[in-house]
C-alpha cells in the first residue's frame, strides 16, 4: 500500500477548495507500477460507494485512489472491480460525494435525436470542470456510441456526459484515438438497483 499512500500525499499537495458541495465528478488516480501513474476522471453513482470510469484505464492498475472536490480521498477495493461495456465499476471503501442520477437517455438503446449536454471532468485533484458539448447518437444496442462535438481534451476520459439537469447519459471512454460517450449497457440494471433506497439502520450489525 506504500505506493497508494504516495499518491495520496501527492494529491494532498494541491490546495483544497473551501466549503464547496462534494461533487459526484471525481479524479481517479491510478498506479500501474514504479513511477507509472495515470490521472483520469470518474463519476459517483448508485449508493455513493461506486465510481464509474473508462474500463481500459483500470485494467492494469495496482492501486486506485479517488479524490473528491472537498479534499477527501478514498481507496478502491481492487478485488471487487467489475467491467461492463468498456466501463469500470470501482467500489470505494466508504460512501462519499453527490450521487449522479441516471437520465432517461441512459436507458435508450436506439436514440434518434442529438442532445445538448455537459461533459464533466476533474483536471486536477479536488477540482471539477464542466464543458458544454453536443452529442450525436451513432448505432444502436451494443454498438451505440455518442459522438462528442467539439472533441474533448484527454483529462475528460472516464468522466460523465450529463444532461443540462446534471443526470448521467454515458461515460467518456477512449475508443481508438477518439473520446466517445459509452452507454452503460448491461450494467444499467445493477446501477439502478444500487441507486435504490439505502438500507435501514436496523440492518447494520452492532459493533
Q: Could you read off the pLDDT of 37-59 as tens digits, one per residue? A: 999 999 999 888 999 999 999 99
Around Cβ 107, how many Cβ atoms within 10 Å? Answer: 12
Around Cβ 14, how many Cβ atoms within 10 Å? Answer: 14
In eight-state DSSP terms, residue 74 is E
Nearest to 76 by CA among 89, 91, 55: 91
pTM for the full model?
0.84
User: CA 29, CA 128: separation in Å to the nearest integer?
Assistant: 14
Helices and strands counted in the chain (H then E):
3, 13
Mean pLDDT of the chain: 86
Nearest to 32 by CA among 67, 73, 4: 4
The reported pLDDT for the residue numbered 105 is 95
Query: Can the peptide bond before residue 77 be classed as cis, meaning omega within 30 degrees of 0?
Result: no
Q: Could you read off the pLDDT of 179-192 as tens digits, one per residue? A: 999 999 888 877 77
User: CA 68, CA 70: separation in Å to the nearest integer?
Assistant: 5
The cell for 196 is 435504490
The residue behind cell 439505502 is 198
pLDDT band at 193; cut points 50, 70, 90: low
User: CA 93, CA 22: separation in Å to the nearest integer?
Assistant: 17
Amino acid at each position: 500500500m506504500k505506493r497508494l499512500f504516495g499518491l495520496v500525499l501527492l494529491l494532498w499537495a494541491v490546495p483544497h477548495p473551501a466549503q464547496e458541495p462534494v461533487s459526484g465528478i471525481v479524479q481517479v488516480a491510478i498506479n500501474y507500477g514504479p513511477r507509472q501513474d495515470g490521472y483520469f476522471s470518474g463519476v459517483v453513482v448508485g449508493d455513493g460507494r461506486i465510481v464509474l470510469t473508462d474500463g481500459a484505464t483500470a485494467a492494469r492498475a495496482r492501486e486506485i485512489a479517488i479524490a473528491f472536490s472537498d479534499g477527501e480521498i478514498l481507496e478502491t477495493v481492487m478485488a471487487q472491480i467489475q467491467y461492463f461495456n468498456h466501463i469500470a465499476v470501482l467500489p470505494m471503501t466508504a460512501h462519499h460525494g453527490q450521487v449522479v442520477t441516471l437520465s432517461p437517455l441512459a436507458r435508450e438503446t436506439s436514440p434518434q435525436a442529438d442532445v445538448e449536454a455537459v461533459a464533466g471532468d476533474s483536471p486536477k485533484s479536488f477540482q471539477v470542470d464542466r464543458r458544454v458539448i453536443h452529442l450525436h447518437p451513432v448505432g444502436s444496442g451494443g454498438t451505440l456510441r455518442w459522438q462528442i462535438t467539439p472533441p474533448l481534451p484527454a483529462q475528460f476520459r472516464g468522466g460523465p456526459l450529463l444532461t443540462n439537469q446534471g443526470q448521467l447519459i454515458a461515460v467518456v471512454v477512449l475508443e481508438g484515438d477518439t473520446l466517445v460517450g459509452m452507454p452503460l449497457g448491461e450494467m444499467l440494471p445493477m446501477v439502478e438497483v444500487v441507486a435504490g433506497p439505502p438500507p435501514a439502520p436496523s440492518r447494520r450489525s452492532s459493533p
